[in-house]
Amino acid sequence: MSKKLFVEKTSSKGIVIGKAYVIEKTDLTPEGYVLESKEEEINKFETALNEAKAEIAHLAKDSEIFAGHNMIVEDITLYDAVIGKINDEEQNAQIAVSNAIEEISNIFKMMDDEYMKERATDVRDVGSRIISKLKGINVNPFENIKEEVVLIAEDLTPSDTALIDLKLVKGFITELGGVTSHVSIIARNLGLPALVGVNGIMSSVLDNDIIAMDASKGNIIVNPDSNELEEYKILEEKFKKEEEMLKKLENLKAVTTDGREVQLCANVGNILDIQMAVKHNIDGIGLFRSECVYMENTHFPTEDEQFEIYKEAAVLCEGKEVTIRTLDIGGDKSLPYYKFDFEENPFLGWRAIRISLELKDVFKAQLKAILRASAFGYIRIMYPMIISIEEVLEANKILEECKQELRDLNIKFDENIEVGMMIETPASVILADEFAKYVDFFSIGTNDLTQYMLVVDRGNKRISNMYNSFHPVVLQSIKKVIEAGHKENIKVGMCGEFASDAKAAKILLGLGLDEFSMSASEINNVKKQILETSFTDAKNYANEVLSKPTVESIMDFLQNNTSN
């Protein structure tokens, strides 16, 4: 008899039918032996640590994912914590490492930001590697995979994925993890269907069970019956054909049937994302979330550390646009090495540009790193969460200071570097006509804009049905911003989730949006919509949508007028 499971948040789209390969985790429970010599245990730990460092450094050469692991294993915090537990608490090396790792990972787990929560997995992964060295265990649980399988696991760490022959993997399902976990990122980059955080999957599946998974909808059937199997075979074939068709669009420019071209760019958080994105023949990077550079670190990254990352981004994009958003921290995003004061309403508090303007040294280090990198490609600077002209002027004043300091040192940079701002607050919408006189471009951040315009917490499940970027007020705001930008002859882009919604593409095109920026894997879906319509039709379509007074009437119109 078949068993059905469902998960709300999908990780990587796709439909797959395959044989289950269940990964049982190696037992790395620390041994509770009595400590006899502190010096001996410290030597054991240091030897294991050095072996782990060497392995991670080797892996980091080929995979950006392990760069974060490298920082963790090199961090003096971990070393001091373990040594302290051996010396002061007389714990053996295995228990000391286990307890230190648990304490550090709990710091990440307690953070509100989903991305940072997932970094707890990285810490535990590093800890497991050190403990395996201490226990003398070197087992590859994936070595018996000899045919195509759907991997089933409690969780999959970056270290796990480094051992897998991914050519034999048709998809992933894990009990733990979120959509920002490394296995999710890997799956999206490779185009493999994946579902994570599937409660009960480990107790529901045995080796060689047949798995039918619709990762687009979050559906899993274990041992489907003949009718279900036939249904999924049809769906799988249909999905493959659609993907093949979309793949053919990759080398085409996004041009309407009557000749209007728009830019399709990628949203990224690190170099790995860029490496994967450029394979999709993107028009550039519309949003480089620089906060990821800070969040994946153990300290405020230095000017030189950031310069190397931004320079590599510029080189990888080969002269195409790289828009770097300055530090956008606060709200639901925090830093493990900086204590934020408690705030009743963090989304309305000390965040984004407000932090940069106050932590001037941190801001200058970032701006100078970006400026230096601009000598190696087409880089743009973008300020987040702007609500006043004064903020733009103050940020630009600091930018000019940075430029002069670099000139004094004869360091090259793009003297004409473009400076833009996010449009994601009601204030920035209302004052868009004025802001357009002070910046070189706009990028509409629909995630926060929708939240602020509708006064709806996007993370609150009780009112999640009220969070909808198709709301008339959000669409009217987008229209106003685009018109304001074009009046001053500046480019207007969008880097929020709404830009990747195929149902919205024709509306946004008709409103005159110049640049769509999204996850690279979603670009061809949007490109298809643009290639199949004319700008004239899109304008009429958008006007019709904006004439609707309610969300319901808009969604009904889209339902009846959207081609698949």
Please report, for the chain, the start and end positions of each structural domain, with discontinuous segments joined by +.
3-26+141-245, 38-135, 253-561
pLDDT of residue 140: 72
pLDDT-based confidence at residue 182 (cuts at 50, 70, 90): low
Residue 550 and residue 298 in contact, taking contact as beta carbons nearer than 8 Å: no
pLDDT of 564 higher than 60:
no
Is residue 191 over pLDDT 80? no
Q: Count Cα atoms within 13 angstroms, Cβ side, for 231.
A: 11
- pLDDT tier, 69 (very low <50, low <70, confident <90, very high otherwise): confident
Per-residue pLDDT reduced to its tens digit, 437-456 = 999 999 999 988 998 999 98
Starting at the edge strand found earlier in the chain, the sheet holding 169-174 runs 3-6, 219-222, 210-214, 15-23, 149-153, 169-174, 194-195
Q: What is the pLDDT of residue 181?
A: 67
Q: What 3-state DSSP class applies to 15? A: strand
320-352 pLDDT, tens digit per residue, is 999 999 999 876 677 777 777 877 777 788 889
Question: In CATH, which superfamily holds the domain spanning 3-26+141-245?
Answer: Phosphohistidine domain (3.50.30.10)
Percent of the chain with pLDDT over 70: 93
Provide the pLDDT for residue 488.
97
**β-bridge partners, 266:** 285, 518
- Can you give the pLDDT at residue 113? 60
Non-local (6+) Cβ contacts of 115 within 8 A are: 180, 269, 292, 295, 333
Mean pLDDT value across the chain:
89
Domains 3-26+141-245 and 38-135 share a fold: no
Is residue 36's pLDDT more than 70? yes
Identify the residue whose tokens are 């940072």. 116
Residue 457 pLDDT = 78
- Better-predicted residue by pLDDT, 369 or 55: 369
List the beta bridge partners of residue 6.
Answer: 219
Given the residues 265, 292, 317, 495, select the one marked as catalytic: 495
Mean per-residue pLDDT for 352-374? 96
Asked if pLDDT for residue 75 goes beyond 80, the answer is no
Amino acid identity, position 479: K
Most confident of 75-89, 107-121, 339-353: 75-89
Q: Quick one: 38-135 is in which CATH superfamily?
A: PtsI, HPr-binding domain (1.10.274.10)
For residue 465, the model assigns a pLDDT of 79
- Catalytic status, residue 495: yes
Contacts of 407 (CB under 8 A, 6+ apart): none
Q: Are strands 3-6 and 219-222 parallel, antiparallel or unpaired?
A: antiparallel
Q: What is the CA radius of gyration of the chain?
A: 25
| Distance of alpha carbon 254 from alpha carbon 517, whole angstroms | 13
For residues 243-271, give the mean pLDDT.
91
Q: What is the pLDDT of residue 520?
A: 85
Q: Model confidence at 397, in pLDDT bands (50, 70, 90)?
A: very high
- How many residues belong to the chain? 564
Distance, first Cα to last Cα, the chain: 34
Higher pLDDT, 24 or 528: 528
What is the per-residue pLDDT across 117-171, written as a single tens digit (0 to 9) for each?
Answer: 667 878 888 888 899 889 888 767 787 888 999 999 888 876 677 778 888 999 9
How far apart (Å, rounded) are the C-alpha atoms in residues 89 and 98?
14
User: What average pLDDT score do residues 86-96 get?
Assistant: 92
What mean pLDDT comes out for the span 62-74? 72
Mean pLDDT across the stretch 80-94?
Answer: 92
Residue 210 pairs with which residues in a beta bridge?
19
Residues 6+ apart with CB under 8 A from 373: 307, 310, 311, 313, 314, 379
For residue 116, what pLDDT is reported? 67
Residue 265 in contact with residue 331, Cβ under 8 Å?
A: no
| CATH architecture of the domain covering 253-561 | Alpha-Beta Barrel (3.20)
pLDDT number for residue 197: 85
Exactly one of 69, 182, 280, 471 is catalytic; name it.
182
**Rounded alpha-carbon distances, angstroms, from residue 450 to 464, 538, 545:** 12, 23, 17
Looking at residue 266, its pLDDT comes to: 93
Contact yes or no for 275/49 (Cβ under 8 A): no
